[in-house]
Amino acid sequence: MARHRSVRGMNYDEEYEGYFDVYGHSVEEDYCGSPSMDQYMYDRSKQPDMSAFMQTVDDIAEEDHEVQDHGGAINYPLDPMEEGKLQSCLDELRSVVGESVSETILIKAIRDANFDIEDALKRVLDNSTSSSAAVSETAPLPQRERKHRDRNRKEKETDDPESKAVALEKVREEIQNMALSHGFPGAALKVVAAKTSKRSHGFDIPSPASDSTPSTPRPYDRLGAVSPASSTCSSRRDDSPGAEKIGTPEETPSPIRAKIKKKVNAQEEYQKERGNMKEKVNLVVIGHVDAGKSTLMGHLLYLNGQVNKKLMHKYEQESKKLGKQSFVYAWVLDETGEERSRGVTMDIGQSHFETEHKEVILLDAPGHKDFIPNMILGAAQADVAILVVDATRGEFETGFESGGQTREHALLVRSLGVSQMAVVVNKLDNEKWSQKRFEEVKKTLSQFLIKHVGFREADLQFLPCSGLTGVNLISRPEIEELRSWYTGPCLLEVIDRFQCPERPVSKPFRMPISDVFKSVGAGFCVAGRIETGFIQNGDKAMVMPQGESVLVKGLTLEDVARHSAFAGDQVVLTLSGIDMALVTMGSVLCDPANPIRVTTKVQARIVLFNIQLPVTKGFQALFHHQSLCEQAVIKRIICQLHKSTGEVVRERPRCLTKNTSGMVVIEIARPVCVELYKDAKELGRFMLRVGGSTVAAGMITEIL
């Protein structure tokens, strides 16, 4: 420290004699010594990405400081409190003078002025003009004396508001002078302006006349903001002894600004991170059991180069051994032994691949009736869907009749918010690529999908395929029978053409947990899709409904470690600070400052499907919401609504029968995390299921 102290006595102005000749450089580059700790601290704050953050901290310090400043007890070297003051003053000054004045000078001036911004500003400007003009005559005076002088000045100011206004006028003039007195003002100022962006605008308005004209509005022009206030409101300031007030009108709005900045940040960050990357789209593959979903997608992955030949060969050999050679491509996505030996997908299979313009996250849903809860989970995470139907005569019909899953899946994905869908008419090779059959299937399906499910015709795309033989997957078909009548795109092109939905990045962070598992290292992992907002590595988050706070220690996207993730991403987070047993599937990770609401009772608008039993009061059902599945009871039926117009058809009906719509109150057995539909669609939707069939889809209108 002794070394540092000796520096304080130094004549800075001498050191900086040639300073203004080297404008292009920053001060630090030339100046190698470390005069004081304060200076060191400022260095950090000058780093561009930190400055936004630092400022918000400073604001708080400034407020404290206002109250205490008049105590007058100032000790050198500085204590932490004063360091804070110093920082805030420095920021203020910087905003006025930009980078043109060295920070050592600023600090000195601030100290001399006893942390009085206005005073300090004046000193700085005095100083800089004189220093640039000739050799310094303002060698640092003994501290005691300066302090004394300072106190005098302060008293003078408080006694005489007139003189203060005059002083301010002087400041302004001085700035002007400084600009003019400079050897090459234009060029130098330009350099400064480029370096410090908006803040240096202060130099562009030298005269008070331009201040008063509203034709040059500069939102970040601090001096401009100060000057009219100080000149017109001098009478108002009479009662305040300190001159810090000058800072106050500016400081008050700054927290708000900081908040806005954060929001903008989310959007900006997103642009920055993802702007030059391919768009991400979550794709779910649905359809009746044995329609060939896994095989289709497995083959597509293989052809697209996601699965290496060696592995494929291994699968081929093994599936041959089991006598299930036709399942070879499905094995790419069906990984558990159970799924392979039974030849049925049971849980969502996840994979990803890239097309020309898109990065696709593939979710392979199980088609079997018993695994619809898993399928709902997958569909809830998806943006777009592929419906696979078996074109084989008889097979399509069974899949489509009331017992089949084609209908239910289509209804489910639509009510879970998927609006674009491709319909793959699979196994058309069994029908000898007959156009008649294709048209027949297309007609039946499009009628159902448009009329009953509510897809728009423009959002549907039908295409013939063969998953097993791989026709029309990644390239247009070469088979003559098909080429003769089909000229449309192949599957990969269709996927490439899907529109990406808008990502609600700037909303508060929400991520329903769909999986909890042990990680390799410390902590454990949760997986899920970020529905709204964004998260960064090292952020704090909150697990609801448990209400525990956790720390995000790691963040991976498709097995690649990342720094941040945004709404719409399927992400795996490594958490710490909570016991693994506490985190369950269906919990929601959220922003601790803005946690999601937890409730056991909701009011909702439900749309009933084609069901066997009517919904009455006391109806017990399973409440599927994102990855959560919980028992629920319908407590009350408020009214029956018209299905399309939403008008109340009947108040308090005894029951709701099939294909109707109504308002109900639902009580859920355990607390769940939900949002209103109008606030966040993804988290405001739910499904009601009873005995293996989906009864209704609902939207939460009120949390009770």
Partner 1 sequence: MKLIHRNIDKDGKGEVTLMPDDPEDIWHAYNLISEGDSVKGSTIRKVQTETATGSSQSNRIRTTLTVCVVSTDFDTQACVLRLKGRNIAENPYVKMGAYHTLDLEPNRKFTLGKAHWDSVFLERVEMACDPTQNADLAAVVMQEGLAHVCLVTSSMTLVRAKIENTVPRKRKGNAAQHEKGLHRFYENVMQAILRHVNFDVVKCVLVASPGFVRDQFFEFMMQQALKTDNKQLLENKNKFLLLHSSSGFKHSLREVLSDPSVQSKLADTKAAGEVKVLDSFYSLLQNEPARAYYGLKHVEVAHQAQAVETLLITDTLFRSKDLTERKRCVALVDGVREYGGTVKIFSSLHPSGEQLDQLTGVAAILRYPMPEIEEEDHADDSD
Q: Which is nearer to partner 1, 91 or 347 (CB)?
A: 347
600 touches partner 1 (CB under 8 A)? no
Nearest to 340 by CA among 317, 313, 322, 364: 322
Q: For residues 621-680, which are near partner 1 according to CB under 8 A? A: 622, 629, 631, 633, 636, 652, 654-655, 657-658
**C-alpha separations of 229 from 233, 234, 255, 332 in Å:** 6, 8, 20, 70
| Residue range at the interface with partner 1 (CB under 8 A); choices 50-58, 168-176, 214-222, 686-694 | 686-694
Measured from the CB atom, the residue of 213 and 336 that comes closer to partner 1 is 336
Report whether 424 contacts 386 (CB < 8 A): yes
In the complex with partner 1, the residue whose CB is nearer, 367 or 467, is 367
624's enclosing H/E stretch is strand 620-625
Using the minimum distance from each CB to partner 1, give the nearer residue, 97 or 527.
527
Selected range binding partner 1 among 206-214, 426-434, 478-486, 687-695, rule: CB under 8 A? 687-695
Compute the least distance from the CB of residue 482 to partner 1, in Å: 33
Burial tier of 337 (Cβ tally within 10 Å: 0-12, 13-18, 19+) = exposed
Q: How many CB atoms lie within 10 A of CB 502?
A: 8
Contact yes or no for 287/367 (Cβ under 8 A) = yes
Least Å distance between CB 284 and partner 1? 15
CB of 370 to partner 1, least distance (A): 4
CB of 303 to partner 1, least distance (A): 19
Q: In the structure encoding, which two tokens stand for residue 377, read together?
A: 């989970």
In whole angstroms, give the CA distance from residue 510 to residue 532. Answer: 5
How far apart are CB 311 and partner 1 at their closest, in Å? 11
Does 396 bind partner 1 (CB under 8 A)? Our answer is: no
Q: How far is the CB of 477 from partner 1 (least distance, A)?
A: 30
Judged by CB under 8 A, which stretch of 62-70, 194-202, 329-337, 380-388 contacts partner 1?
329-337
516 is an interface residue for partner 1 by CB under 8 A: yes
Q: Rounded to the nearest whole angstrom, what is the least distance from the CB of residue 583 to partner 1 in the complex?
A: 8
Determine the size of the site formed for partner 1 (CB under 8 A): 51
| Least Å from the CB of residue 387 to partner 1 | 22
How far apart CA 512 and CA 552 sit, in angstroms, is 15
* Residue 221, helix vs strand vs coil: coil
What is the SS3 assignment for 644? coil
Q: Which is nearer to partner 1, 421 or 637 (CB)?
A: 637
Instruction: Indicate whether 514 belongs to the interface with partner 1 (CB under 8 A).
Output: yes
Phi, psi of 672 (to 5 degrees): -130, 160
Separation CA 534–CA 267 (nearest Å): 9
Sites for partner 1 among residues 343-382 (CB under 8 A): 346-351, 368, 370-371, 373
Q: Kindly tell me which of 292 and 367 has the beta carbon lying closer to partner 1.
A: 367
Report if residue 694 touches partner 1, rule: CB under 8 A. no
Burial (CB < 10 A; 0-12, 13-18, 19+), residue 258, is middle
SS3 content of the chain, % helix, strand, coil (to 5): 45, 25, 30
Beta strands in 290-429 (DSSP E): 349-354, 358-364, 384-390, 420-426
The interface with partner 1 within residues 518-557 (CB under 8 A) comprises 518, 527
Among 338, 356, 401, 647, indicate the residue that binds partner 1 (CB under 8 A): 338
Binding to partner 1 by residue 213, rule CB under 8 A?
A: no
Q: Nearest approach, Cβ of 547 to partner 1 (angstroms)?
A: 18
Out of 4, 46, 261, 342, name the contact with partner 1 by CB under 8 A: 342
- Does position 314 interact with partner 1 (CB under 8 A)? The reply is no
Q: Distance between CA 216 and CA 442 in Å, rounded? A: 62
- Ranges of beta strands (E only) in 493-610 are 510-518, 524-529, 534-536, 540-544, 548-557, 560-561, 564-566, 570-576, 588-590, 597-608
Residues that bind partner 1 (CB under 8 A): 335-339, 342, 346-351, 368, 370-371, 373, 514-518, 527, 559, 581, 583-585, 611-614, 616-620, 622, 629, 631, 633, 636, 652, 654-655, 657-658, 689-693
